[in-house]
Amino acid sequence: MKNIVILGGGYTGMATATALAGRLKRRDDVHITLVNAQTRFTERLRLHQVASGQELNDLPIPDRLTGTGIEFVHGWVTGIDAEAQTVRIDDATILRYDTLVYALGAVADSNGVPGVDEFAYTLNSAQDAQLLAEHLKRIGDGPVVIAGAGLTGVESAAEIAEQHPELDVVLLSRQFPGAMMGEKARARLHAGLERLGVRVCAGVEIVKVMADGVALADGEVVPAQAVLWTTGVLVSPMAATAGLTVDERGRIVTDESLRSVSHPNVYAVGDAAAVQQGYGIIHGTCQSGIPTGVHTAASIARELKGKSPKRFRFGYIHQPVSLGRDDAVIQFTHADDSPGWFYLAGRFAVAYKEAVSSSPWTTYRLLKLIPAFGAAMWRRGGRLTK
């Protein structure tokens, strides 16, 4: 019996598990185990909606694995012994693996600025987002600071401003919102934020978070009754502790097939992997993460047949940003994520963004039921993900 253990039941881990189960339907000599700390699937693409006070559908992971033959283990990964090929769960259960898929993702980086851990909220989990939502209900018409103008920061600022028009929402960042977009799409994004009443302060650096505001590098203090921290990401030190080769940010360094360069029986996918492409290392998004999972499933299936895994290829297609429930901007991109000439805005962009946000579950169903879909997705280097 070959034991395949997948650590992490987020977008990428679920893609790996369902795609692998679809490919190995007729094999009774392979056991797949998926480990996750929560039984409910976290829709990270929608956590800004939770933070603003909206409720999401309950998506139990075990229900989504029905009929796949995948064993679900509910618990925290507390250690990996790469030499013994074992994983420790909740410091109590030991799982042995022949092949390990590391899909533990990343969280907001709260280490670099004093006070973030103590006073700021994050969107690391549905529980974290719910805590912010409950706090926003209590603060009346006070100011709210969103730290970071990446996609998460922009979407959070817009969603909170729309759901809580009584609040003064301030978006603070070193860069202008939409800096990665083309000029026209960026202008449209700024117009959407202005319409919602979001105050944008770019070119600033937060050096400290306090109970009643944030301090900037120039000495100014911006008052806040709530601070949402969305800038920077941090991966678990577990891979480094286990002896796997990692980069300066702690991400597992992979070969061209997504295997660890130091431990080839370990695949790394999603945010926790340093995946090199011709244009550089891919950045962690659902758009890039799901294809790494699908490719890994295809590679493991090939290895079980005595074949070598193939090279992973990936190209970006878009930068989708929601601006509340009634507006959005979609910047279509070149493969290296640089902006193309075409973008969508308004109601067509809203429909597109909603399809993007809901697409993972459709993808998982197709991967589970139709292995050929995963093969096509794998050959296209991720172009069918969203």
Angle at 13 between CA 8 and CA 133, to 5 degrees: 65
pLDDT category of residue 191 using cuts at 50, 70 and 90: very high
| pLDDT score at 364 | 59
Domain layout of the chain by residue ranges: 2-37+75-105+236-316+359-369, 116-229
CATH among 1.10.10.60, 3.20.20.30, 3.10.28.10, 3.50.50.60 for 2-37+75-105+236-316+359-369: 3.50.50.60
Two structure tokens written together for 202:
């770019």
DSSP SS3 for 312: coil
Give pLDDT tens digits for 54-72. 998 889 999 989 999 999 9
CATH architecture of the domain 116-229 equals 3-Layer(bba) Sandwich (3.50)
Place of tokens 């795609």: 19
CA distances from 303 to 15, 49, 259, 377 (A): 18, 41, 12, 19
Give pLDDT tens digits for 308-328. 999 999 999 999 999 999 999
Tell me, yes or no, if the two domains 2-37+75-105+236-316+359-369 and 116-229 fold the same way: yes
Q: Is 277 left (phi over 0), alpha (psi -120 to 50) or beta?
A: beta
pLDDT category of residue 384 using cuts at 50, 70 and 90: very low
Give pLDDT tens digits for 6-29. 999 999 999 999 999 999 988 899
Considering the entire predicted model, what is its pTM? 0.92
Q: Which residues contact 363 (CB under 8 A, 6 or more apart)?
A: 15, 290, 377, 385
Nearest partner of 242 among 220, 268, 218, judged by Cα = 268
Q: State yes or no: pLDDT of 81 exceeds 90.
A: yes
pLDDT category of residue 355 using cuts at 50, 70 and 90: confident
Q: Higher-confidence residue: 25 or 159?
A: 159
Q: State yes or no: pLDDT of 382 exceeds 80.
A: no
Q: State yes or no: pLDDT of 344 exceeds 90.
A: yes
pLDDT category of residue 362 using cuts at 50, 70 and 90: low
